[in-house]
Structure 1
Amino acid sequence: MIIGMALSSPAQRRGTNKTKPVYSGYLFTYFTGNDKSKEQICFALSDDGYHFKALNGNQPVLRSTDISETGGVRDPHILRGADGKTFYMVATDMVSAKGWNSNRGLVLMRSSDLIHWTSTAINLQTKYAGQDSLLRVWAPQTTYDAQAKKYMIYFSTKYGHQPDKIVYVYANKDFTDLEGEPKQLFFNPEQAACIDGDIQQKDGKFYLFFKTEDRRPGIKIAVSERLTTGYKMQSNDYVQQTDKPVEGAGTFRLNDGSGYILMYDMYTSGRYQFTKTTDFKTFKAIDEDVSLDFHPRHGTVMPVTAEEMARLRSAW
């Protein structure tokens, strides 16, 4: 089914001498609330990574009923592919009104223009054997595994009375299905629930931001030199710059090279917080520098070119 759009990162290109695109702005993909009418994918644009304006009047750019099994989607993540011109988006296939243990799958989407998308809804309980105790599948994200030369999808799952765990699996070539069975990506030494994983690569290391449910909900970081294994806690410190509950960590590199943004959903406060870092160890809240003309829930940001921004504005 054709419905929308997707992103890819030129830095991941292989075997090409093409000039690297110049990024002029940022695309923010998000959903807006727990009502079914708000569990849909929305887009916003920014020139500088600090000031975002919603596209399409803050109304959905893709209809959840067209792409999902449940009729709702949450937690969208968008990625520019290794070829620099294909975009991949994944989302939780879920309507929260049916209960926090009601969903069993995710949605895979692909696009070549960020406007028109093909999609596949995947139910893990029907795809794999031995899934009777599966309760939920949350917050998928995609990254390119340069060694495997495949797209890796990682997300959290909960089975029975076990804590939520972050697992990974590879997508097939067409990004329409999953290959093999999910494997655990990170083993929390505190045996606490881990959800909302977000991987950022920097200086040859992989940084896994995640929400842990030990003692109080918050965001921590595990680090590895390999994408699929070996993650160790960077410290026991929380990195959010608030004492309010947070979830949905999303990181992106600023186009001017001045650092990285870690943003997260302050889900009980009805707002987002942006923080800035250069080393993934110290984070500074930059609320006074940020403006949004919408109220996002758990979303992600990726860089876009001037041409892509013009295309998005023309479409919505």
Structure 2
Amino acid sequence: MTLRRCLLFATLSVSAGGVALHASEPAGPEPARIHIVPTLEKPEGAGPRSEEDMAGYLMVYFKDQTHSAYLAISRDGYTFTDVNGGDPVFEGSLLAEQKGVRDPHITRGPDGAFRLAMTDLHIFGKRAGFRDTEWQRPAENYGWGNNRAIVLMKSWDLVHWSHSIVRVDTAFPELGDIDCSWAPQTVHDPVDGRMMVYFTIRYGNANANLYTAYADDAFTRLETFPRMIPGIGGIDGDITRVGDRYHLFYVSDARIRYAVSDDIVLRYEAVPQRIDPETVPTEAPNVFRRLGTDTWVLMYDVYGGRPNNMGFSETEDFQTFRHLGRFNEGVMKGTNFERPKHGAVTHLTLAELRSVAAHWAVDIDLE
């Protein structure tokens, strides 16, 4: 379904481009914001982008405190600057059925457009006054979280976005009484030719697995019945294609695990050892490539740390990994933010970096 008209209250304004999301502001200069639009127009020159076109990096992440998502940019892939000074870019209270978003993932499709997928869940919804119970349904039956919706958004310019809340259980009643739908991510399937959304579904407060479904071109709904990735019991999947191989990182027993296949859904072979170097619980793996190299960065959420943080490792062969340390404690740093949660990184062209920096008035050297 599209952005509900009931969201058009005091914290939204309407412009020629659609609905602009922002908090109520005192009088003064109008702040930069994203715009939710009913339809997206494909810009001239849009289309496939190669690695040679890319000149920097975009990180999306969220915070428990706000249940909202944030954007940060980087020229070198090591030092990131939050575009909104540490304030939310995607307000969970305006975008989600539960008034909170978590686990944001962003990627670029072969058409050149960005897809953003997020969990629709507010874990402090009762405290925030959004519901009268700890969870939407009894924890003794459905466990922690027990949300059933995901948020899908698409953009060509990272400013104007389409928006859809997808209730997985009502879209596919044949799935039965699911506990949750968590941590959606998106990858292009070159065989099918569509963008595939994959996410966690849990049943019976115990049985969690990764499921896949194809999204429509507008990225507003799932148009195929979710099917389980066989042989992989776990959550928080991240699929990266390198050559003719698909590398799947996921979470089992609060540890980062790894499997590889020649098929995007089938025949994954898992290795037995833990991949991340941590001794505390971890989740939310995401892999991105260092531009101009054969090096891949594995990013993961060290949620068991006190305080929590993101950890990083590098690999060239997906067999050996070099530990880079945690965010702001090693080579990976933020200039104006710290301890991002459950994030993802994709690449930007130099023009896109400059456009994003200009829109949010970010002081960053892009030469």
Band the TM-score falls in, shorter-chain normalisation? 0.7 to 0.9
Q: Structure 1: which 5+ runs fail to align?
A: 7-12
Aligned residue for 1:126, secondary structure, equals: helix
> Counterpart of 1:308?
352
Question: 1: distance between equivalents of 2:87 and 2:97?
Answer: 21
Alignment TM-score, normalising by the size of structure 2: 0.76
Q: Structure 2: which 5+ runs fail to align?
A: 4-18, 21-33, 41-46, 125-133, 136-143, 361-367
> Counterpart of 2:258?
221
Q: 1:29 aligns with which of 56, 60, 63?
A: 60
Deviation of 1:203 (Å):
2.8
Aligned residue for 2:169, secondary structure, equals: helix
Number of matched pairs: 295
> Counterpart of 2:291?
255
Asked if the contact 2:281–2:302 (Cα under 8 Å) also holds between the matched residues in 1, the reply is: yes
> Counterpart of 1:64?
92
Question: 2: distance between equivalents of 1:61 and 1:229?
Answer: 36
Q: Give the alignment's Cα RMSD to 1 decimal.
A: 2.0
Asked if the contact 1:21–1:305 (Cα under 8 Å) also holds between the matched residues in 2, the reply is: no
> Counterpart of 1:89?
116
Written as runs of structure 1 = structure 2, the 5 A alignment for 1:83-232 is 83-84=111-112, 86-97=113-124, 98-99=134-135, 100-188=144-232, 193-213=233-253, 217-232=254-269
Alignment deviations for residues 51-95 of structure 1 (CA, whole Å, 9 cap, x no partner): 1121101111122233211111111111111022x1111010111
Deviation of 1:24 (Å):
1.4
Question: 1: distance between equivalents of 2:78 and 2:323?
Answer: 12
* 1:110–1:309 Cα change, 3 Å: same
Relative contact order (alpha carbons < 8 A, sep ≥ 6): 1 or 2 greater?
1
> Counterpart of 1:10?
none
Letter of the 2:323 counterpart: A
Deviation of 1:118 (Å):
0.8
Letter of the 1:96 counterpart: I
Alignment TM-score, normalising by the size of structure 1: 0.88
> Counterpart of 1:297?
341
Asked if the contact 2:109–2:115 (Cα under 8 Å) also holds between the matched residues in 1, the reply is: yes
Asked if the contact 1:167–1:186 (Cα under 8 Å) also holds between the matched residues in 2, the reply is: no
> Counterpart of 1:284?
322
Asked if the contact 2:216–2:222 (Cα under 8 Å) also holds between the matched residues in 1, the reply is: yes
Stretches of 4+ aligned residues off by more than 3 angstroms: 1-6, 18-21
Amino-acid identity (%): 32
> Counterpart of 2:281?
245
